Amino acid sequence: MIILLLAFGLRVHRLEAQSVWWDEGLAAWAARQDLVSSALWCASDVHPPLYFWMLHFWRLGSGDSEFGLRFLSVGYGVLAVAALYRLGQALADRPTGILAALLLATARFALWWSQEMRMYILAALLATLSLWGLVGIWRRGRVRDWVLYVVSTLAALYTLYLSASILLIENLFVLLLLRRRPDRRRFLLNWATAQIAILLAFLPWLILALQRMRTWSSTQPFEFGAFLRLYWTVLSVGIPVDVEKYLSQTGLVALVFVLGLGAVVWTARRETYTRLGLLLLLLCLILPPLVVYLVSLPRSLFYAPQITPRYLLIFAPTFYLALAWGLRSLGRRHWIIALIPALAVGWVFHFGLENYFSGRYLLDDYKSLAATLRAYYHPGDAVVLYTDMDWPVFTYHWAGPWKGVPNPIQYSAQAAEEFLQPIWNDAEGVWLVVTPYAGSSDPQRNIPAWLESRARHVECFRFENEDLCLYARTPERERTALTLASPDIPHPMHVNLENGLALVGYEQAITRFQSGDVVHLFLYWQGTAAAHAEVGLVDVTGQAHEIVRVEVNPARWGGEDIGRTQVDLVITQRVPSGEYAFALRAEGEQEWGVRFGKAAVRRTRKPGLSPAEVTISHPLNLVLGGRIRLLGYDLEATIYHPGDTVNLTLYWLADEPVGQRYKVFTHLLGETYNPASGNFLWGQWDSEPVGGKRPTTLWLPGEVIVDEYAIPLSAQAPPGRYQVEVGMYWGASGERLLVTDDLGQPLGDHIMLEELQVIP
């Protein structure tokens, strides 16, 4: 019971503190469909429907929160610990079962997928139950053992196609077992009956899936040795990236595993039952990885997936059972012999968990955007996702109707009109959700340009990586652009400001932040008088660390009684870690009013370099967007050959906190037209500053950002003169920042640096 409580506590801790990713959003979308629709979708996809059906009924009680939907996987993860205890007890003894349960309860790999809205931990649970049923059949052959085996194996097949490896392992094991049974005919008849029952029950789904399943591949070449290292690393440490960094940890577990395996073999030399149990575990450890690797090889039939660690989870419990059995066998005569290997394994498992929970971090990806859309969406509106690259994540946050701009298509002005005209004709207004991927499909921004040219009014809301714009088609929708769709206020309150204006509520999507994050706070107002106010981030002592000026103009929301404004507050490096609230005061006042909301802040790093600490070979003093300065640049060389890399270092400084995450573009422009790019571009590297590690929202005013770029020059670049062009742009829309000199004179939307020479 203590181990189960430990497993539950680990799995429920910070369960909600991770953003929904693509596959989880897909699961949530499938769970919202009716059972027939989700089954038909699954038949043409890559997984059977059992998990999605279970999630469908689960969400009726849990709701759509991250915590609620993931809690189903928590339950499966805890049950898997209990099932492994039973399997270990049946194969070896009670201490082995307890130790195996403890290892599974604390293994990062199992914990990780017990906190995901996916079917893999359910498949692992069902595989463990199937093996437990098989061991029961082998030892006793009771009716309940047969029932457990058939039901769990069938459920596993309806959960994950890779569960077919269960049948492969178990049938191979039975073939090896048959010659040792005196009742082999009767046993074989019963076993064949069970297999036929499983296959017949799975056959209707198989027929449906074979008719609808597409043949496609996302696989990439993967060296078998690298695959084995990945396999062992995720089982040992639970971390699937940079596996070479964990050779000492994985090697230590491998040493303990081999020593323990030797101890089990030594014990089994006179015990047939032990030898057979060990054989079953080894089959479970060897065959599934081979199946995963073979399935991932490129082929022209059905789906060929990329190799990914989650496919290895299904038989991971048997690894922890084999490891536990080895430790138990090492200490069978003297427990002290197993102490050092057990401590070594415990250290590796602790190492895997060390940064696991701190790495779970909830982003405000579409949360605030979807809240804004819900606040202003009217029944006659249309929602267009531009583009639909990450549509499952968007639809997790927005459950209403929408249409997606297909991501792979390049949109010309004509293609944009053909896509938008039917939507426009049927809508009072069109909401355009501009994602960071919009520029790849529509670099000329033909989609928003078409809408702008026809809209009576445009109202836009900006978030960290996305834009949300309403294009009003009719006079009525123009008048009600900022009219709230519902009188309900998420967090009602009442604070009088001035001239009869009152703050009557607020809305906040997330409450935990790191340095560089932007708090999107939404305030609800009542009254008709315009006013200015200030919102501050206030600590427990009442000190305000960040203050934002707010303009409240009720005329903007059409004279309605209640309106909503968006306040964007940047968590700079000046804000210490701690608990904060928000406070409001009229502009010019000294005292803060009532506190509301909350923000838990974690400061992530120390301030960087000052201007006096850097030496710049080519100094400049140009201003982008009114508050970001390009202090200058370093260029490694000025003469290059085709195919070379141009190493460029830019030096940035912010005069004040930056509330948006901007990208830097670096271009190599030649004198000759490049047919491949469709312009004169022969080299390009776009990125958030410092490879994405120092987004502009994380910059402290007065801090120098040293930003390095390695720009690849095309191998087909002809000899001649080239110029380096740089600048910044808003990732969601592609809109560039205006460049001015230190006197404020406009210089365009880009900066030309030093001229280069390309020679043969």
CB 124 within 8 Å of CB 80: yes
Burial of 574 (0-12, 13-18, 19+ CB in 10 A): middle
At 415-464, the pLDDT tens digits run 999 999 999 999 999 999 998 888 777 877 899 999 999 999 999 998 87
Give the chain's residues under pLDDT 70: 214-222, 269-270, 298-306, 558-560, 605-608, 676-678, 732
Burial of 340 (0-12, 13-18, 19+ CB in 10 A): exposed
Question: What pLDDT does 324 receive?
Answer: 94
Omega before residue 387 within 30° of 0, cis: yes
- Asked whether residue 363 is domain-assigned, the answer is no
DSSP state of 366: S
Domain check: are 594 and 632 in the same one? Answer: no
Answer yes or no: is 376 within a domain: no
For 139-173, the pLDDT digits (tens) are 888 999 999 999 999 999 999 998 999 999 999 99
58 and 145 within one domain: yes
What one-character DSSP code corresponds to residue 468?
E
Q: Which of 438, 454, 479 is the last residue of a domain?
A: 479
**Residue 530 structural domain:** 491-602
Quote the pLDDT of residue 298: 63
CATH number at residue 543: 2.60.40.1930
At position 197, the amino acid (one-letter code) is: A
Q: With H, G, I as helix, E, B as strand and everything else as coil, classify residue 580.
A: strand
The H or E element containing residue 378 is none
The confidence score (pLDDT) of residue 606 equals 60
* The pair of three-digit structure tokens given for residue 270, joined into one six-digit string: 């006179």
Chain-centroid distance, C-alpha 111:
16
In angstroms, the CA 651 to CA 753 distance is 13
Q: Are 45 and 90 in contact (CB under 8 A)?
A: no
Q: DSSP assignment of 246-293, as one string?
A: GHHHHHHHHHHHHHHHHHHHHHHTT-HHHHHHHHHHHHHHHHHHHHHH
Pick the last residue of a domain from 578, 602, 626: 602
- Angle 2-12/66-91 helices, nearest 10 degrees? 150
Is residue 145 domain-shared with residue 85, that is, in the same domain?
yes
Q: Are 547 and 536 in contact (CB under 8 A)?
A: yes
The rounded distance, in Å, linking the Cα atoms of 80 and 122 is 8
Q: Token pair of 669, please?
A: 């422009």
In a domain, residue 373? The reply is no
Q: How far apart are CA 133 and CA 321, in angstroms?
A: 16
Quote the number of domains for the chain. 4
Structure tokens at 395: 């639809």
Helix, strand or coil, per DSSP, at residue 243: helix
Any idea what the CATH number is for the domain that residue 707 is in? 2.60.40.770
Judgement on whether residues 496 and 637 belong to the same structural domain of the protein:
no
| Nearest CA-CA partner of 357 in 534, 238, 223 | 238
DSSP 355: T
Looking at residue 302, its pLDDT comes to: 59
Neighbours of 193 (CB within 10 A): 12
Place of tokens 């249309």: 382
If asked whether residues 149 and 113 sit together in one domain, one would say yes
DSSP code string of 144-190: HHHHHHHHHHHHHHTT-GGGHHHHHHHHHHHHHHHTT-TTHHHHHHH
Identify whether residues 671 and 739 lie together within a single domain. Answer: yes
Q: What's the number of CA atoms in the CB half-sphere (13 Å) around residue 216?
A: 7
Same domain, 261 and 396: no
pLDDT for residue 515? 82
Are 499 and 551 found together in one domain?
A: yes
Decide if 372 is inside a domain. Answer: no
Residues 446, 345 within the same domain:
no
Tokens 């405000």 correspond to what residue?
364
* pLDDT value for 659: 77
Residue 16 falls inside a structural domain: yes
* Structure-token pair, residue 560: 């309605």
Please indicate, yes or no, if residue 182 is contained in any of the structural domains.
Answer: yes
C-alpha–C-alpha distance, residues 646 and 303, integer Å = 40
Work out the burial of residue 673: count CB atoms within 10 Å of its CB; fewer than 13 is exposed, 13-18 middle, 19 or more buried. Answer: exposed
Torsion of CA 153, 157, 163, 168, to 10 degrees: 60
747 and 616 within one domain? yes
Residues 85 and 175 both lie in one domain: yes
Element (H, E) at 712: strand 704-712
Closest CA relative to residue 447, chosen from 477, 403, 397, 390: 403
Spatial CA neighbour of 211 closest among 44, 37, 30, 35:
44
From 479, 502, 520, the end of a domain falls on 479
DSSP 48-74: -SHHHHHHHHHHHHH-SSHHHHHHHHH
Please choose, from the candidates 13, 174, 153, 105, the residue with its C-alpha nearest in 3D space to the C-alpha of residue 316.
105
Domain presence at residue 248? yes
Instruction: Give the Cα separation of 555 and 116 in Å (integer).
Output: 46
Can you read off the two tokens belonging to residue 370? Answer: 């979807």
For residue 379, being part of any structural domain is answered with no
- For residue 720, what are the β-bridge partners? 758
Same domain, 6 and 128: yes
